[in-house]
Structure 1
Amino acid sequence: MSMKKVIFLIDMQSFYASVEKSAHPEWEDKPLVVAGDPERRSGIILAACPLAKKYGVSTAEPIWQALQKCPHLMIVRPHMERYIEVSLHITNILKSYSDLVESYSIDELFVDVTGSLHFFNHDPIAMARHIQNQIKIETGVYSRVGIGENKVLAKLSCDLIAKKNKEGIFILHKNELEQHIWDKPVRDMWGIGSRMQKHLNRMGIYTIGGIAKTSVNRFRKKWGVNGEVIWRVANGIDNSPVSPYTHDKQKMVGNGMTLPKDYCDASEIDIVLLDLCSQVCRRLRAKNVMASVVSVGAAGADFDYPTGFSRQVKLSDPTDATMTVYEAVKRLFHTHWDKQPVRRLHVSLSDLSDADVYQLSFFNNNEKQRAVDKVMDQIKDRFGEVAILRASSFMEAGQAIDRAAKIGGHYK
């Protein structure tokens, strides 16, 4: 009989805030949050340390709201490069325990320790404690460990129990779901947002156990594959392996941006679209792939009265040439734009294929464009993102210079 797997889900507590406190020991006893740049309408809390949470401060709330709850709150601007660095350090720590490490997000990782558990006398708790201590000593970050025979059980164990208990470690066995998990509200379950919660409540389902005990066919009829996934999570069923290569094969390259103000003028929007096309095409070329499908999306500033659209078009030939993509994006955007103010823009490229195998065309100057793009890429690789830019990027509407100072929309 084959041995059941032992999977860890390791989650870093208040990751960004923990990294900041680790770098500044003098902040240890202060309630601290990491928040976006208030001047650019992104004054939202990205992480709150446990002390700040005691005042009721929570992730994703506006800074002004948090200050009402805790007037002496320390607000630190994010340092994304540092967080990525620490995240990679933690990944390397985990790789010393197992070669099966899968990043779920910047602060959560799955580890399959089945093959190395014998080094810890087959005691998963002892191994988890050892990992927890090593991460704390080397990075200053406190981690919680959920343990189960598959990824879903490990995630449920971490989110619903290990994050709340004193030790920060918990093993969840499949036959103990009813005892530990099923009485909790549906909203607490991985994958259930507020909208899905309302749907489930309307069906008379209020707890995770309620999901687990409902016929899978009922969910399948209502939501197809997604319905079955919800039912499987509630029942702790998951056959997916922990794979270091899960995110290697990219199906799409995209980039979006929230603008500093409403853009209403077509020429200003075109400048931003060109900046976005330059970035996504450069990423295509770095991966040595070409795209056949171009998508563009736009949204307004008012979340309560959403405006905007998302559309895609198939190109006649795969390309990685910035100006070819830009022309297609511009055409697509202006065909569907309703002239409402735009606050967010997004460009993505999909249906990717190998750049070494592509069709030469008699009717366009793709090769000339590719040569120009190649030279620009080489200059940027050597001297930095803003070493060479198209002239439009220097106009007031251009965002390339500001974005070069950021990672994931936040300053480095």
Structure 2
Amino acid sequence: MSDHIYLCIDLKSFYASVECAERGLDPLTTNLVVADPERERGTICLAVSPSLKALGVPNRCRVYEIPQGIEYIMAPPRMQLYIEYSAEIYAIYLKYISKEDIYVYSVDEAFMDVTDYLELYQLTAKELGVRIMDDIRSFLGITATCGIGTNLYLSKIALDITAKHAEDNIGYLDESLYQKTLWNHKPLTDFWRIGKGISSRLAGVGIYTMKDIAHVDEAILYKLIGVDAEYLIDHAWGREPTTIAEIKAYRPKESSLSTVQVLMTEYSYDDGLLILKEMVDLLCLDLVDKTLVTNSLSLYVGYTQKGMKSSRGSVTMPVTTNSVKVITKHFTQLYQNIVNRLIPIRRIGISFNKLVDEAYEQYDLFTDPAELQKDRDVQLAVLNIKKKFGNNAILKGMDLQKAATTLERNQQIGGHKSGEQ
């Protein structure tokens, strides 16, 4: 919709900038990486400061990839602190824009529909963006970049590509300017939602730019990438009909809960089963907390051996429930059926699918409803204790075994240290 104006604001090297701000340092001139020094040098840097990027150090590199001779500060990740900073920045957004017109895309990025605010403030979109960015910099010491576009997609591309080359960290695109300046831009992977896989498939038929995509026979694109070709064609022309209001109103037909754990070392078959049970236990608590039930379970197990295909499987239970006892039983059977007992394990993922409200809980002839209610009461009691006293206030015996990870992961956010002890 050409009568809309969107801002897409990103917090530059967010985690690294927060660590610099906490130390009273300028992230634009300070060499700092956010990485856990207790892990091996192969650990991934969650963020590197802009000054390190200027020296050619890529974001999300591994510690050993930082060239020797570059001095830098290594800051352990503090995920809770970053969330607190993100909340404060969201509060700054709310000074200017109603929450109905803000879509938080990630912890460090947000879209805003500013169409109805420009006349109110008697500002251009760029002036409003600068004011918000200056506020963030002034109050928190965090540098932001801003993309301005006539639709959500163009604001994102203006941020990701155009703003990076602007001295004021602001980029602007409408459909005409997009076609004029970026139709021949390479590589295609610079564009949102185009990964290496799609890019290589397109290259296989001689497509290397957005202009190529815009002018190729659409049937070729649908054959290459399926229904997602519709989005790619729109984006090639700089079109995006979706609005923030539509995103917020969207409700999926089916919902799921999932969690994945990348293990810090090789795990045996038996120790992997312990990790699986811990994961099921925690995700079942989430089910109970949300008053949801499921009858569909999925399991993924990845191995350390190169070339070894991961194990995947799913099962439909005869009951629809959130009982940890019932769900653990079925996951254990699934694990025993699909997992290779001889190859060390490095990744485990589980998913509860086809979630519905507890009101739709279903039993089979062998289910004792009273027993299920007793199980749920115990889970509710555990939830209440954890909410009041912390996640490690109550633990199961399995959580104290040597190979267990729950005790440590309860002190993490997103698999990284929260910063709280």
TM range (shorter): over 0.9
Q: Report the RMSD for the aligned CA atoms in angstroms.
A: 2.1
Amino acid at match of 1:353: V
Deviation at 1:120, TM superposition (A): 3.1
Counterparts in 2 of 1:378 and 1:330: CA distance versus 1, 3 Å: same
- Within-5 A mapping of 1:169-248: 169-185=170-186, 186-243=188-245, 245=248
Amino acid at match of 2:376: R
User: Which residue number in structure 1 is paired with residue 43 of structure 2?
Assistant: 43
Cα separation, 1, equivalents of 2:290 and 2:121: 40
Q: Secondary structure at the match of 2:244?
A: coil
Deviation at 1:277, TM superposition (A): 0.7
Counterparts in 2 of 1:125 and 1:26: CA distance versus 1, 3 Å: closer
Amino acid at match of 1:81: Q
Q: Secondary structure at the match of 2:355?
A: strand
User: Which residue number in structure 2 is paired with residue 289 of structure 1?
Assistant: 292
Deviation at 1:221, TM superposition (A): 2.1
Answer yes or no: is the 8 Å Cα contact 1:97–1:113 preserved in 2.
Answer: no
Amino acid at match of 1:237: R
- Within-5 A mapping of 1:368-407: 368-407=374-413
Deviation at 1:214, TM superposition (A): 1.9
User: Which residue number in structure 2 is paired with residue 75 of structure 1?
Assistant: 74
Answer yes or no: is the 8 Å Cα contact 1:255–1:276 preserved in 2.
Answer: yes
Cα separation, 1, equivalents of 2:314 and 2:40: 29
Cα separation, 2, equivalents of 1:388 and 1:246: 38
2:270 counterpart of 1:261: no
Deviations 1:40-95 (A, max 9, x none): 67611111111111221112221011143x53121111110011111122222222
Cα separation, 1, equivalents of 2:105 and 2:229: 22
Larger CA deviation: 76-85 vs 306-315: 306-315
Larger CA deviation: 381-390 vs 92-101: 92-101
- Within-5 A mapping of 1:28-67: 28=27, 29-36=29-36, 38-39=38-39, 43-67=43-67
Counterparts in 2 of 1:369 and 1:41: CA distance versus 1, 3 Å: farther
Counterparts in 2 of 1:305 and 1:223: CA distance versus 1, 3 Å: same
2:272 counterpart of 1:251: no
Amino acid at match of 1:290: V
Amino acid at match of 1:363: F
Counterparts in 2 of 1:10 and 1:98: CA distance versus 1, 3 Å: same
Answer yes or no: is the 8 Å Cα contact 2:103–2:110 preserved in 1.
Answer: yes
Deviation at 1:248, TM superposition (A): 7.7
Answer yes or no: is the 8 Å Cα contact 2:8–2:148 preserved in 1.
Answer: yes
Answer yes or no: is the 8 Å Cα contact 1:98–1:115 preserved in 2.
Answer: no
Which of 342, 354, 358 does residue 355 from structure 1 map onto?
Answer: 358
Cα separation, 1, equivalents of 2:264 and 2:230: 41
Deviations 1:135-180 (A, max 9, x none): 1112211111111121111111111101221111122011112222
Q: Secondary structure at the match of 1:163?
A: helix
Answer yes or no: is the 8 Å Cα contact 2:147–2:171 preserved in 1.
Answer: yes
Larger CA deviation: 149-158 vs 94-103: 94-103
Deviations 1:338-359 (A, max 9, x none): 2221101111112111123423
Cα separation, 1, equivalents of 2:114 and 2:230: 28
Cα separation, 1, equivalents of 2:154 and 2:65: 35
Cα separation, 1, equivalents of 2:251 and 2:386: 24
Number of aligned residues: 408
User: Which residue number in structure 2 is paired with residue 138 of structure 1?
Assistant: 139
Cα separation, 2, equivalents of 1:37 and 1:296: 32
Cα separation, 2, equivalents of 1:142 and 1:316: 54
Cα separation, 2, equivalents of 1:133 and 1:258: 39
Answer yes or no: is the 8 Å Cα contact 1:120–1:126 preserved in 2.
Answer: no
User: Which residue number in structure 2 is paired with residue 326 of structure 1?
Assistant: 328
Deviation at 1:247, TM superposition (A): 8.2
Cα separation, 2, equivalents of 1:229 and 1:66: 37
Counterparts in 2 of 1:52 and 1:313: CA distance versus 1, 3 Å: same
Deviation at 1:292, TM superposition (A): 2.2
Counterparts in 2 of 1:4 and 1:14: CA distance versus 1, 3 Å: same
User: Which residue number in structure 2 is paired with residue 98 of structure 1?
Assistant: 97
- Within-5 A mapping of 1:21-32: 21-26=20-25, 28=27, 29-32=29-32
Counterparts in 2 of 1:289 and 1:234: CA distance versus 1, 3 Å: same
Percent identity of the aligned residues? 26
Deviations 1:107-132 (A, max 9, x none): 11111111211123251111111111
Deviations 1:374-402 (A, max 9, x none): 12112211221111111111111111001
Deviations 1:325-349 (A, max 9, x none): 1111111122111222110111111
Counterparts in 2 of 1:403 and 1:190: CA distance versus 1, 3 Å: same
Cα separation, 2, equivalents of 1:337 and 1:361: 28
Cα separation, 2, equivalents of 1:40 and 1:296: 28
Q: Secondary structure at the match of 2:359?
A: coil
Cα separation, 2, equivalents of 1:248 and 1:85: 28
Deviation at 1:30, TM superposition (A): 2.4
Gaps in structure 2 of 5+ consecutive residues: none
Counterparts in 2 of 1:40 and 1:299: CA distance versus 1, 3 Å: farther
